Amino acid sequence: MHKGLFDIMFFVVPIIFGIVFVFVMISIFSPKFRGKMMARQIKAMKHMMDEGKEDLKDIASTGGEVMADSAQRILKENMDTLEDIGAKAGKIKAETIRRVLEDNEDAFSGTVEKTADMAAPAVKKIVAAVAEGIKEGASETQVICSNCGAKIDADSDFCKHCGAKQ
């Protein structure tokens, strides 16, 4: 029985080698054949890439869902601990602010008084400037030039600064 298998192999192997040899020779010497083979490879690559995109989209969406579910589960499991930490941090912050204010009460009150004293003259100047502006606006003897913004007499036909017609 082994002899029958050997006889078959004796004829089949040379035929396979012959086909491979012819294929290699055609590939080497025929640009048209190489072009067809490359077109098939490009088409197969494009198909693989298109299929790969869909797979990547599926993987990304599944991965995102898994991450969101995991984060939600971890938050739920640790919610009591997180709330305790938040409450303690709030107490520490409030206590720290209260302590700093109490320790520096004299310095803060002196600073506020000094700031108010320093601001008073500036506030007076601002109020005086506003009052002056109101007085000038109420006066009908002058208007503002529509071209350059300078003050001119209300009865002027032309601006004395830029010469624009009013």
Mean pLDDT is lowest, of 6-15, 32-41, 73-82, 138-147, for 138-147
The pLDDT assigned to 2 comes to 64
Annotated domain spans of the chain: 1-53, 119-166
Among positive and negative, which fits the CA dihedral 7, 12, 15, 21? negative
Q: Model-level pTM greater than 0.85?
A: no
In tens, the pLDDT along 85-116 reads: 878 887 887 788 778 777 877 766 666 566 66
The pLDDT assigned to 133 comes to 62
Determine the average pLDDT of the residues in 5-25: 91
Q: What is the DSSP string of 132-166?
A: HHHHHHH-SSEEE-TTT--EEETT-SB-TTT--B-
The pLDDT assigned to 13 comes to 93
Question: Do residues 164 and 145 touch, judged by C-beta distance below 8 A?
Answer: yes
Mean pLDDT is lowest, of 121-125, 133-137, 151-155, for 133-137
Mean pLDDT is lowest, of 72-76, 83-87, 98-102, 160-164, for 98-102
Q: What is the DSSP letter of 19?
A: H
The pLDDT assigned to 12 comes to 92
In tens, the pLDDT along 17-70 reads: 999 999 999 989 999 999 999 999 999 999 888 888 888 888 888 888 888 888
The Cα 12–Cα 6 span in angstroms is 10
Measured N-to-C along each axis, helices 105-138 and 79-103 cross at an angle, to the nearest 10 degrees, of 80
